[in-house]
């Protein structure tokens, strides 16, 4: 039988709630460990190394329940510790970061927006409207096979660059408008060819309605694109208070807007973050149009 170890769900601004009893992984009771005004919500878990889909859902469910009572810093799934003492050491060692992050995230939730297009159609537009390598000198057909190969590679490169630039343009417009209604925002541009961008937005609970209204207005004005709206979520994308080598809360991200397209599509994990003060205005509509 595998040894039971503590599994950590989140760092919270409160001691949790009796409703978390029996709601942990595999039905375990969720306990809370206090340290200097922050709490670690955890449970015993004997299945380390053997996670199942239900465990992922239970992880999320515990954090969602916890966030109805207090600010939370959600852990990435799979945070197993050697023992309760290891969790206590983590709380002790990172207490200032946890405290600052909880204060920063209090009353806020994360919203995800994804915008999709049909990359094949966009490429066709670029192909028919863009420069034609080889045009004006007889075209590729008149060249040796090696030259044709290189011209083909050049066309692929132009196409990839064209797609990146268009995605950056769309993201700059749509993500920019959404980010102005959020406390903080991140964007990942063209993670796949059909996904123009995936944005995450930290939004005050009382501003959610206005943010959603803003989203719907933008969607209505872009009939050629598909939109996905997801949330509210625990602030997974904005809780980076403990990542080794990661950004400390509130730090300036390494990549700034405007985004510059790169020469290839490999892992464009590009983020930008806009911070703004104040809310989205009253009557459910953002004033930062």
Residue of the chain from 137, 244, 252, 263 that contacts other proteins (CB under 8 A): 244
Asked if 286 touches other proteins (CB under 8 A), the answer is: no
Asked if 191 touches other proteins (CB under 8 A), the answer is: yes
Asked if 74 touches other proteins (CB under 8 A), the answer is: yes
What is the rounded distance in angstroms from the CA atom of residue 258 to the CA atom of residue 169?
9
What is the rounded distance in angstroms from the CA atom of residue 211 to the CA atom of residue 219?
12
Interface region with other proteins, contact rule CB under 8 A, candidates 145-153, 154-162, 187-195, 255-263? 187-195
Residue of the chain from 27, 34, 37, 82 that contacts other proteins (CB under 8 A): 82
Nearest approach in angstroms of CB 216 to other proteins is 17
Nearest approach in angstroms of CB 44 to other proteins is 14
- DSSP label at 193? T
Q: Is the dihedral of CA 177, 183, 189, 195 positive or negative?
A: negative
Q: What tokens appear for 36 in the block?
A: 């200097």
Nearer to other proteins, 193 or 209 (CB): 193
Nearer to other proteins, 86 or 158 (CB): 86
3-state secondary structure of 113: strand
The answer to whether residues 98 and 106 touch, using CB atoms and an 8 Å cutoff, is no
Nearer to other proteins, 146 or 244 (CB): 244
CB atoms within 10 A of CB 271: 19
Write the CB contacts of 22 (distance below 8 Å, at least 6 apart in sequence). Answer: 28, 29
Nearest approach in angstroms of CB 277 to other proteins is 25
Residues 19-58 that bind other proteins (CB under 8 A): 48-53, 56-57
Q: Which residue has the tokens 């417009």?
A: 173
The answer to whether residues 170 and 200 touch, using CB atoms and an 8 Å cutoff, is no
Residue of the chain from 4, 69, 155, 193 that contacts other proteins (CB under 8 A): 193
For the sheet containing 226-233, what is the strand order?
184-192, 195-204, 108-116, 226-233
Nearer to other proteins, 16 or 242 (CB): 242
Using CB under 8 A, list all residues that contact other proteins: 5, 8, 10-11, 48-53, 56-57, 59-60, 73-82, 86, 89-90, 93-94, 110, 112, 114, 116, 119, 191-195, 226, 228, 230, 233, 236-237, 239-244, 246
């Amino acid at each position: 039988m595998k040894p039971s170890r503590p599994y950590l769900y989140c760092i919270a601004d409160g001691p949790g709630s009796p409703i978390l009893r029996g709601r942990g992984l595999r039905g375990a009771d969720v306990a809370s460990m206090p340290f200097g005004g922050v709490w670690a919500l955890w449970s015993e878990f004997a299945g380390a190394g053997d996670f199942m889909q239900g465990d992922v859902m239970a992880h999320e469910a515990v954090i969602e329940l916890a966030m109805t009572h207090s600010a939370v810093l959600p852990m990435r799934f799979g945070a197993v510790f050697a023992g309760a003492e290891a969790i206590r050491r983590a709380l002790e060692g990172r207490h200032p970061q946890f405290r600052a992050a909880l204060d920063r995230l209090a009353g806020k939730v994360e919203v995800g927006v994804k915008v999709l297009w049909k990359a094949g159609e966009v490429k066709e537009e670029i192909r028919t409207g863009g420069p034609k390598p080889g045009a004006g000198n007889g075209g590729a057909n008149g060249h040796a096979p090696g030259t044709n190969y290189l011209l083909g590679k050049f066309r692929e490169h132009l196409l990839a660059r064209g797609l990146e630039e268009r995605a950056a343009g769309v993201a700059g417009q749509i993500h920019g408008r959404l980010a102005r209604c959020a406390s903080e925002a991140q964007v990942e541009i063209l993670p796949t060819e059909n996904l123009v961008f995936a944005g995450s937005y930290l939004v005050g609970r009382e501003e959610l309605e206005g943010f959603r209204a803003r989203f719907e207005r933008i969607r209505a004005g872009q009939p050629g694109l598909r939109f996905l709206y997801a949330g509210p979520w625990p602030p997974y994308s904005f809780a980076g208070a403990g990542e080794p080598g990661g950004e400390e809360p509130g730090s300036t991200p390494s990549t700034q807007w405007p985004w510059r397209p790169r020469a290839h599509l490999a892992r464009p994990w590009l983020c930008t973050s806009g911070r703004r003060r104040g809310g989205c205005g009253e009557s459910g509509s953002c004033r930062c149009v």
